[in-house]
Structure 1
Amino acid sequence: MFARRVPCILSRFRSVQAQSSGSWEFHGTRTAAGKPPRIDSCRHLTSTSTSTMPRATETASFKFNHTMLRVKDPKVSLDFYQNVIGMDLLSVKKMSDFTLYFLAFNHEGRDLSPEEKEASRFGREGVLELTHNHGTENDPEFKGYASGNTDPGRGFGHIALTVADVDKACERFDQLGVQFKKRPTDGKMRHIAFILDPDGYWIEIVPDRMPL
């Protein structure tokens, strides 16, 4: 069975990075004309994702459980992720110097008790953990956290959300005063957007079905 070729998100994200920084970064050889060599990321992804073999028994139960982001002010961040993004608060873990907030989507529409939410936390996929180090929200000298998309030390890039209609989702974000890094009408990538959370982390907004 051959995998169907689809538009490559990786190459699109590189374009967004280029738009934000004003330049492309390449490491390695260049062509005779002095230009960076073309990297066919789509071909690589296609050729490495065509296997229909089942996962090894040892990893069959593995899931991508959660991503952790450090936040300056939990009240602001929780309002954003609950009321703007639409996630549910699963549980709160208070420690002496920091507090952890776990959020996830409730697509089943079930009204879970706090105990049920806590019990399901490690069995879910796509959980977001917000870590608040106490005092940062009131510290005038605290400059905030790096998003991972600026120099020096580019590393972490973004999280991504799928939506049924990118344009409608972005209209709602506009009405709620959300800051955009890239609107659907910016550049050549008309079917995706990037918004920023209160700490400046990038959130990619993509359709649940990519156009062919």
Structure 2
Amino acid sequence: MSRHFETAPGLCEARDTATNAYVFNQTMLRIKDPERTLDFYTRVLGMTLVKKLPFPKMEFTLYFLAAIPDSQLEQWSKDDGERLAQTFGRPAMLELTYNWGDKDKAEVNYHNGNSEPKGFGHIGFAVPDLAAACARFDSLGVTYVKRPEDGKMNNIAFIQDPDGYWIEIFSPENLEQGLSEHLGSDQDQR
């Protein structure tokens, strides 16, 4: 029996048991202005800053954010050392990196990966109700790359953070219906 739920060329079937406790912990984005970007992720997307790590000798600061329901906030330690371990042991953290002084440098802009040369694409947020989330984003003046009604896939939206990074917004319950008309087999892509 395969350890994978799907098939694709290149999959390794024999998992090294040394990797059993590995946790995908973080995605890092470089930011130009911590104040505006932290406001966006904490106000617009409801994330919680769980750890801030300044590195004065190297002149940068790391901000670690997580999507934590209010009911789970008490599970996070007030002790800095314990919270550091929690931060680096939890899945799906967003790490924002601010290089000191970038805020004041007009020439500093970060490539979001969606224009040439393409690379990094987006991060994603699952929401319970896509229409309600988009109505809220509209009321907050959020910049859209794609609204749900635009294009061929009407079950997802893409918004942008202050640095231009794309964020996919979707409702998990509605994905199958919206994707099914666009999905084909691996044979279709040859």
- Equivalent position of 1:126 in the other structure: 92
Deviation at 1:109, TM superposition (A): 2.4
Question: Runs of 5+ in structure 2 lacking a partner?
Answer: 178-190
Contact map agreement 1:89 1:101 (CA 8 A) in 2: yes
Contact map agreement 2:32 2:98 (CA 8 A) in 1: yes
* Structure 2 counterpart SS, 1:167: helix
- TM-score (structure 2 length as normaliser): 0.79
Q: 1:100 aligned to 2:26?
A: no
- Equivalent position of 1:148 in the other structure: 113
CA distance in 2, matches of 1:184, 1:101: 30
Question: Runs of 5+ in structure 1 lacking a partner?
Answer: 2-44
* Structure 1 counterpart SS, 2:145: strand
Q: Which runs of 4+ in 1 moved over 3 A?
A: 53-56
For 1:181, the aligned partner's letter is V
Deviation at 1:46, TM superposition (A): 4.0
* Structure 1 counterpart SS, 2:73: coil
- TM-score (structure 1 length as normaliser): 0.71
CA offsets, 1:75-111, max 9 Å, x none?
A: 0010011111111101111112111100011135233
CA offsets, 1:140-162, max 9 Å, x none?
A: x32411111112x2111111111
Contact map agreement 1:157 1:202 (CA 8 A) in 2: yes
- Equivalent position of 1:136 in the other structure: 102
- Equivalent positions of 1:1-212 (< 5 A) are 46-48=6-8, 56-96=16-56, 97-107=59-69, 108-111=71-74, 112-115=76-79, 116-139=82-105, 141-151=106-116, 153-209=117-173, 210-212=175-177
Q: RMSD value over aligned CA atoms?
A: 2.4
* Structure 1 counterpart SS, 2:72: coil
For 1:118, the aligned partner's letter is L
* Structure 2 counterpart SS, 1:184: coil
For 2:142, the aligned partner's letter is V
- Equivalent position of 2:181 in the other structure: none
- Equivalent position of 2:185 in the other structure: none
* Structure 2 counterpart SS, 1:159: strand
* Structure 2 counterpart SS, 1:110: helix
CA distance in 2, matches of 1:211, 1:146: 31
| Count of aligned pairs | 166
Deviation at 1:174, TM superposition (A): 0.7
* Structure 1 counterpart SS, 2:64: strand
Deviation at 1:61, TM superposition (A): 0.8
For 1:109, the aligned partner's letter is Q
